[in-house]
Chains A and B, each alone.
Chain A
Amino acid sequence: MKRFIGFVKKEFYHIFRDRRSLFILFGMPIAQIMLFGFAITNEINNVDIAVLDHSKDATTQEIINKISASKYFSLKEIIEREVDIESVFKKGKVKAVLVFEKDFSKKFIKENHATVQIITDATDPNTANTISNFTSSILKKYQQELNKDVQIAYQIVPQTRMNYNPELKSVFMFVPGVMTIILMLVSAMMTSISITREKELGTMEILLVSPLKPFQVIVGKVIPYIFLSVINAIVIVLLSIFIFKMPIQGSLFLLGAESVLFIVNALSLGILISTISKTQQTAMMVSLMGLMLPVILLSGFIFPITSMPLPLQLISNIIPAKWFIIILKGIMLKGVGLAYLWKETLILLAMTLFFIGVSIKKYKIRLE
């Protein structure tokens, strides 16, 4: 036991003396969560729009006022001719143009039917879609206000409610994803690098010719990183609570326990990588390509798994991150407990045991 503690102590020396890695270790989660939280967002805010109003009457004025009063849009320009539509888009001044037809008010009252055209800049399809949806819903709302007193037969009024994330804040979606990425990166990449470094520097040769058991070396390597990863997880959760006002619905204890399970899973993957790579560089490349890309692309973090082709959907099942993200979303946003997440937890646990088993088996007690 004393040997083991000595070994862990040595690992901490390595980590704390390597200032640059330490900075990456703790700077990265903060930078990433800020980036995803503030910069990369699906929401629209203050989108600039232009209006081409052919009728210029009370009704169109009211609609324009309603739209520009919302926090989603700000009226940038009023144009007078059809040809100007093309030019305001090309200048990149606005993202959308609303066109009201001639005699809008008259038609609306007399014929109960008037048209407004929404033209969006679809170079960014997501934003264009969102803009058109938001505008439509403002128009619909206005229409309903007008029809308050009138009874129309056979009307379907959809009432939507956005459960678990009523304001559709994208940061809520990113937090579980970023947490997964960072824990994966810190745990898997850092351990694999620290083990291959011993191989590269030749110190592994001396460790092998010592009474230290393979098990002790591996666990000794892993413990400092469990510690650091847990700190990282706490930092991420605190940031999301205090900066992004993200409520954690479920039990914090369960969140912690599941995180530790995922960290151990990632660490065992890191050990596995170190058993197959000879240099620190290979270990880093394998971790980045073999772990990071699948985590980002196939875990459901950015792209919904249900809309992937079937083969990719199947592959996504073997990615631990997928299950961890389901668990995180469940606990953080839905507030569900183990009763609902036992299946995912069990899968993660089985994967972890498998990786640990394989890496202990593959750990070489000799040089070749």
Chain B
Amino acid sequence: MSITISNISKSYKEVNALNNISFEVKKGELFGLIGPDGAGKTTLFRILTTLLIADEGEATVAGFDVVNDYKSIRNHVGYMPGRFSLYQDLTVEENLNFFATIFGTTIEENYDLIKDIYVQIEPFKNRRAGKLSGGMKQKLALSCALIHKPKVLFLDEPTTGVDPVSRKEFWEMLKRLQQKGITILVSTPYMDEAALCDRIALIQDGKILEIDTPEEIVKHYPKTLYNVRANKMYELIENLKGYEHQYSVYPFGEFVHYSDTRADFDPEALKQYLEAKKLTDIIIEITEPTIEDTFMELAK
């Protein structure tokens, strides 16, 4: 096991940030921590990276206890905090060099590990880090977190504030790093990214809702889910919410995801109801539940 967490609890003055959390991450696994802002993801990261001490419970990273062996952990993990935490007044190359030096290594020594990422920012290596775009900042931060070849990589919301193209590239990079045997714990508020992880933990209000592979998690969705569409989105949602048999209604892209309380739900009856409400171009079709749907269901 690369990371073991058992019965961890942590509270700040009034807020209960983490509530009896336990899970394990296997070696070489890409594990996702999925949850909204304020769910306790960052607190958990800080406990695992030895920055905070949990009120209760124990945890180990790469076989070391997070409290007693904190010095060993600091030698073997890479950590990328939620907000951009590199030196803005240093250039790309100077930042990377600095982090290589303080971990007792050099860029050349581990270049193959960061090569895929670094080649993309290398043309800007003499630019100050503060002047990089969001996506490039993330790539630089990832390079800096990787430069010492960590056994475990902690990425706290690495794609927040990054454009969709860079996000996609970023995840492709994570997949490649995983193949090199690095255990990765990544947190994200984006549900679509969850599907790219080996296993995910859904977390909300300091509690774990569910831990499984993304495929299994969506199977836990208890109802049949329908995509509903009509000419007027707002009226559609309002009317669906007013429908007496509705189980859940929320917008999902250009559709509304709808589920019904009845086992013998007939889409045709719903269509007539909506037509009676003067909606046109109505489409109702069965769809696969996504992780977001499951999350919404579990978070109810």
A residues adjacent to B (C-beta < 8 A): 2-3, 5-7, 9-10, 13-14, 17-18, 201-203, 205-212, 365-368
Contacts and interface: CB of A to CB of B under 8 A. Distances in A.
Contacts of A18: 89
B149 to A, nearest CB: 13
Nearest to B72: A211
A367 B47 CA distance: 10
A365 B53 CA distance: 11
A209 B77 contact: yes
Contacts of A201: 85, 87-88
Contact of A205 (B51, B53, B97, B101): B51
A368 B99 CA distance: 23
B98 A203 contact: no
Provide the main secondary structure of the chain A interface. helix
Given A202-B83, A205-B81, A209-B79, A3 B102 contact: yes
A13 B128 CA distance: 12
A209 B101 contact: no
B101 A2 contact: yes
23 contacts: A2-B101, A5-B101, A6-B97, A10-B87, A13-B89, A14-B89, A18-B89, A201-B88, A202-B84, A203-B85, A203-B87, A205-B79, A209-B49, A209-B79, A210-B74, A210-B102, A210-B103, A211-B71, A211-B75, A212-B102, A366-B52, A366-B53, A367-B51
Contacts of B90: 10, 13-14, 17
Interface of B: 46, 49-53, 70-71, 74-75, 77, 79, 81, 83-90, 94, 97-99, 101-104, 144
Contacts of A368: 52
A212 B103 CA distance: 8
Contact of A211 (B83, B88, B89, B104): B104
Contacts of B94: 10, 13
Contacts of A7: 98, 101-102
Contact of B89 (A2, A3, A17, A206): A17
Nearest to A17: B89
B88 A209 contact: no
B87 A2 contact: no
B81 A2 contact: no
Given A14-B87, A209-B74, A210-B74, A3 B104 contact: yes
B9 to A, nearest CB: 16
Query: Most chain-B Cβ atoms within 10 A of its Cβ — which of A202, A207, A366?
Result: A366
A210 B105 CA distance: 12
A203 B86 contact: yes
Contact of B50 (A10, A203, A209): A209
Contact of A10 (B53, B71, B77, B98): B98
Nearest to A16: B89
Contacts of A366: 50-53
Contacts of B98: 6-7, 9-10
A226 B131 CA distance: 31
Nearest to A211: B75
Contacts of A10: 87, 90, 94, 98
